[in-house]
Amino acid sequence: MAKEVFWCSSCLNMSTRPRITFDQEGRCNACQWSDEKKTFNWKEREEELKKNLKKYTNASDNYKVIVPVSGGKDGSYIAHKLKSDYGVEPLCVTVRPPLETKIGQENVYNFVSSGFSHVHVSPDEEAMAALNKYGFIEKGFPYYGWLICIHTAVLQIAKRFNIGLIFYAEDGEIEYGGSTEKKFQATYDVSYQRKVYLEGGYEKVLEKAKLDESKLFWFKFPSEEDCKKITLTHWSYYEAWDSYRNYLVAKEHCGLKETEDTNTGTFTNFAQNDQALYCLLYTSDAADDMQCVDLGGRRII
């Protein structure tokens, strides 16, 4: 029998969100976290950041840390903060998304031109489409192939450059409602990444897609031994997360541009501008609004 579906008593989070919990007053754990983090001593967490930076930047003669970026507000903000406030030069990595937009392309170019070393990964298009399809069928994610790749491809690059620390942006589980398992832990490993961020469906989706091994390099994790050498962390652990602040900093220092109109389903115009698949748009008018890139004359929505 299906469980009762309800909304958070103070926001729009639904009880169907994976791993979300509610208190006796019906408030979701994202709302609880929003209040809780106001009481934190963020200076202490910044000291933890400095310790981690010292630990991992001393371990490599190459680039010291990786920051995955889309050209958007959050990765740009983190890369800028590392470089300007902590003197750490990150290697920035972009995984080219399906249904890439023109403004997304421009923002990546502007970000790189603002002074960062950058690797741009373009995974096999057939593999991306198949994994997105079966990820949608099996897990409800229309961009599951890309979701895989923004983890696996970054790890593959970290392995090859002998980089031991990767900074992702906010921990969506904690900030928006989900698992609180890592609420008080600065770092996590690949097993947690697979279980939570890939919804435990990675192997099943790969199996369903029936793809040739030669197409899967960027969608495969490094060996278990290599993964143990790489530590993952979220910037939101060390600093109170503020997407609008990130946007303003990225706009000023990294050339970030926003769309002229608000994005479908929201009131903002500065987030999720790199690709059009996020909101599953189907009409040609919507595709034009999202400025989708023409891929050789093929309709992509």
- Over the stretch 160-188, which tens digit does the pLDDT of each residue have? 999 999 999 999 999 999 999 999 999 99
- Over the stretch 117-149, which tens digit does the pLDDT of each residue have? 999 999 999 999 999 999 999 988 888 999 999
111, pLDDT greater than 70: yes
Say what the pTM is.
Answer: 0.86
**Dist. CA 263–CA 300, nearest whole Å:** 18
Residues 217-233 have a mean pLDDT of 96
Percent of the chain surpassing pLDDT 70: 84
Residues 228-233 have a mean pLDDT of 95
Task: Describe the crossing of helices 102-113 and 243-254 by its angle, rounded to 10 degrees.
Answer: 70
pLDDT of residue 269: 54
pLDDT of residue 264: 65
> If pLDDT is split at 50, 70 and 90, which confidence band does 100 have?
confident
What's the chain look like in SS3? CCCCCCECCCCCCECCCCCCCECCCCCEHHHHHHHHHHHCCHHHHHHHHHHHHHHHHCCCCCCCCEEECCCCHHHHHHHHHHHHHHCCCCEEEEECCCCEEHHHHHHHHHHHHCCCEEEEECCCHHHHHHHHHHHHHHHCCCCHHHHHHHHHHHHHHHHHHCCCEEEECCCHHHHHCCCCCCCCCCEECHHHHHHHHCCCCHHHHHHHHCCCHHHCHHHCCCCHHHHCCCEEEEHHHCCCCCHHHHHHHHHHHHCCCCCCCCCCCCCCCCCCCCECHHHCCCCHHHHHHCCECCECCECCC
Strand partners, 93: 68, 119
